[in-house]
Protein backbone atom coordinates (compact mmCIF):
# COMPACT_ATOMS: atom_id res chain seq x y z
CA UNK A 1 0.00 0.00 0.00
CA UNK A 2 1.15 3.50 -0.87
CA UNK A 3 -0.89 6.43 0.46
CA UNK A 4 -3.77 4.01 1.04
CA UNK A 5 -3.67 2.66 -2.54
CA UNK A 6 -2.45 -0.62 -3.90
CA UNK A 7 0.90 -0.42 -5.68
CA UNK A 8 -0.96 -0.98 -8.98
CA UNK A 9 -3.41 1.85 -8.37
CA UNK A 10 -0.62 4.15 -7.19
CA UNK A 11 1.39 3.30 -10.32
CA UNK A 12 -1.56 4.28 -12.52
CA UNK A 13 -1.91 7.58 -10.64
CA UNK A 14 1.84 8.22 -11.01
CA UNK A 15 1.67 7.50 -14.76
CA UNK A 16 -1.32 9.82 -15.23
CA UNK A 17 0.46 12.62 -13.36
CA UNK A 18 3.56 12.07 -15.51
CA UNK A 19 1.58 12.13 -18.76
CA UNK A 20 -0.09 15.39 -17.69
CA UNK A 21 3.37 16.79 -16.91
CA UNK A 22 4.68 15.77 -20.33
CA UNK A 23 1.61 17.05 -22.19
CA UNK A 24 1.54 20.38 -20.39
CA UNK A 25 5.33 20.66 -20.75
CA UNK A 26 5.07 20.30 -24.50
CA UNK A 27 2.46 23.09 -24.55
CA UNK A 28 4.72 25.27 -22.38
CA UNK A 29 7.62 24.74 -24.78
CA UNK A 30 5.32 25.70 -27.65
CA UNK A 31 4.50 28.83 -25.71
CA UNK A 32 8.21 29.54 -25.31
CA UNK A 33 8.63 29.36 -29.09
CA UNK A 34 6.00 32.12 -29.32
CA UNK A 35 7.40 34.13 -26.35
CA UNK A 36 4.28 33.39 -24.34
CA UNK A 37 4.60 32.43 -20.66
CA UNK A 38 1.26 30.57 -20.49
CA UNK A 39 1.09 31.04 -16.70
CA UNK A 40 -1.64 28.50 -15.94
CA UNK A 41 -0.22 25.77 -18.16
CA UNK A 42 3.28 26.52 -16.86
CA UNK A 43 2.10 26.17 -13.27
CA UNK A 44 0.40 22.87 -14.18
CA UNK A 45 3.59 21.63 -15.84
CA UNK A 46 5.84 22.59 -12.94
CA UNK A 47 3.42 21.21 -10.32
CA UNK A 48 2.85 17.88 -12.06
CA UNK A 49 6.57 17.54 -12.80
CA UNK A 50 7.31 18.03 -9.10
CA UNK A 51 4.54 15.59 -8.22
CA UNK A 52 5.99 13.04 -10.65
CA UNK A 53 9.33 13.11 -8.85
CA UNK A 54 7.79 13.14 -5.39
CA UNK A 55 5.43 10.25 -6.08
CA UNK A 56 8.32 8.35 -7.65
CA UNK A 57 10.12 8.43 -4.29
CA UNK A 58 7.16 6.69 -2.63
CA UNK A 59 7.53 3.42 -4.52
CA UNK A 60 8.96 0.56 -2.46
CA UNK A 61 12.57 0.77 -3.59
CA UNK A 62 15.43 -0.71 -1.59
CA UNK A 63 18.82 0.90 -1.98
CA UNK A 64 19.96 3.53 -4.41
CA UNK A 65 18.79 3.01 -8.01
CA UNK A 66 19.22 4.97 -11.26
CA UNK A 67 15.54 5.96 -10.93
CA UNK A 68 16.26 7.58 -7.55
CA UNK A 69 19.25 9.36 -9.04
CA UNK A 70 17.13 10.77 -11.87
CA UNK A 71 14.49 11.80 -9.31
CA UNK A 72 17.01 13.69 -7.19
CA UNK A 73 18.52 15.44 -10.22
CA UNK A 74 15.02 16.28 -11.49
CA UNK A 75 14.11 17.88 -8.15
CA UNK A 76 17.23 20.08 -8.12
CA UNK A 77 16.71 21.18 -11.73
CA UNK A 78 13.04 21.87 -11.08
CA UNK A 79 13.90 23.94 -7.99
CA UNK A 80 16.13 26.14 -10.16
CA UNK A 81 13.34 26.52 -12.74
CA UNK A 82 10.86 27.53 -10.03
CA UNK A 83 13.33 30.02 -8.57
CA UNK A 84 14.09 31.55 -11.98
CA UNK A 85 10.42 31.93 -12.85
CA UNK A 86 8.70 32.84 -9.60
CA UNK A 87 11.47 34.54 -7.58
CA UNK A 88 13.66 36.13 -10.26
CA UNK A 89 10.80 36.66 -12.78
CA UNK A 90 13.01 35.69 -15.74
CA UNK A 91 15.08 38.88 -15.45
CA UNK A 92 18.47 38.83 -17.17
CA UNK A 93 20.20 35.46 -17.23
CA UNK A 94 17.28 33.92 -15.31
CA UNK A 95 15.32 33.82 -18.59
CA UNK A 96 17.64 31.35 -20.28
CA UNK A 97 18.30 29.51 -17.01
CA UNK A 98 14.54 28.97 -16.69
CA UNK A 99 14.22 27.84 -20.30
CA UNK A 100 17.01 25.30 -19.99
CA UNK A 101 15.86 23.95 -16.63
CA UNK A 102 12.24 23.71 -17.76
CA UNK A 103 13.23 21.89 -20.96
CA UNK A 104 15.58 19.58 -19.03
CA UNK A 105 12.75 18.84 -16.58
CA UNK A 106 10.51 17.90 -19.50
CA UNK A 107 13.33 15.86 -21.07
CA UNK A 108 13.83 13.87 -17.86
CA UNK A 109 10.12 12.98 -17.85
CA UNK A 110 10.36 11.84 -21.47
CA UNK A 111 13.63 10.00 -20.78
CA UNK A 112 11.90 7.97 -18.05
CA UNK A 113 8.87 7.45 -20.33
CA UNK A 114 11.16 5.90 -22.95
CA UNK A 115 12.86 3.70 -20.33
CA UNK A 116 9.52 2.53 -18.96
CA UNK A 117 8.17 1.96 -22.48
CA UNK A 118 11.08 -0.37 -23.26
CA UNK A 119 10.48 -2.18 -19.96
CA UNK A 120 6.67 -2.47 -20.09
CA UNK A 121 5.74 -2.59 -23.80
CA UNK A 122 6.43 -6.13 -24.97
CA UNK A 123 7.26 -5.18 -28.58
CA UNK A 124 9.85 -2.65 -27.40
CA UNK A 125 11.14 -4.96 -24.68
CA UNK A 126 11.77 -7.63 -27.29
CA UNK A 127 14.00 -5.16 -29.16
CA UNK A 128 15.99 -4.15 -26.07
CA UNK A 129 15.31 -6.36 -23.05
CA UNK A 130 18.33 -5.03 -21.11
CA UNK A 131 18.04 -1.37 -22.27
CA UNK A 132 21.62 -1.58 -23.51
CA UNK A 133 20.84 -2.73 -27.04
CA UNK A 134 21.06 -0.43 -30.10
CA UNK A 135 17.28 0.23 -30.48
CA UNK A 136 17.14 1.63 -26.95
CA UNK A 137 20.37 3.62 -27.30
CA UNK A 138 19.33 5.06 -30.67
CA UNK A 139 15.90 6.04 -29.31
CA UNK A 140 17.39 7.76 -26.26
CA UNK A 141 20.02 9.51 -28.41
CA UNK A 142 17.31 10.76 -30.77
CA UNK A 143 15.20 12.02 -27.86
CA UNK A 144 18.23 13.80 -26.39
CA UNK A 145 19.07 15.40 -29.76
CA UNK A 146 15.49 16.60 -30.17
CA UNK A 147 15.48 18.14 -26.70
CA UNK A 148 18.83 19.87 -27.27
CA UNK A 149 17.34 21.41 -30.40
CA UNK A 150 14.17 22.37 -28.53
CA UNK A 151 16.24 24.02 -25.79
CA UNK A 152 18.32 26.01 -28.29
CA UNK A 153 15.25 27.24 -30.16
CA UNK A 154 13.45 28.10 -26.91
CA UNK A 155 16.44 30.06 -25.54
CA UNK A 156 16.56 32.09 -28.75
CA UNK A 157 12.81 32.63 -29.16
CA UNK A 158 11.55 32.99 -25.57
CA UNK A 159 11.58 36.72 -24.84
CA UNK A 160 8.46 37.35 -22.76
CA UNK A 161 7.39 40.83 -21.80
CA UNK A 162 7.69 41.49 -18.07
CA UNK A 163 4.02 42.54 -18.10
CA UNK A 164 3.05 38.93 -18.87
CA UNK A 165 4.46 37.68 -15.58
pLDDT of residue 106: 98
Helix (H, G, I), strand (E, B) or coil at 35: coil
**What percent of the chain stands above pLDDT 70?**
98
105 CB-near residues (< 8 Å, 6+ apart) = 25, 46, 49, 74, 77, 78, 81
> Residue range 116-140: average pLDDT?
95
| Rounded Cα gap, residues 68 and 116, in angstroms | 14
162 confidence band (pLDDT: 50, 70, 90): low
Q: Is the pLDDT of residue 163 over 60?
A: no
pTM, whole model, 2 decimals? 0.93
Longest dimension (CA), the chain: 52
pLDDT of residue 164: 45
Closest by CA position to 14, among listed 50, 46, 42, 43: 50
Amino acid sequence: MILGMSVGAFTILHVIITLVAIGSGLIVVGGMFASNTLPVTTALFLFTTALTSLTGFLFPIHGFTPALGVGFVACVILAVALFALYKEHLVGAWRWIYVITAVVSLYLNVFVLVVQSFVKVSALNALAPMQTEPPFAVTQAAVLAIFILIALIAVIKFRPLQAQM
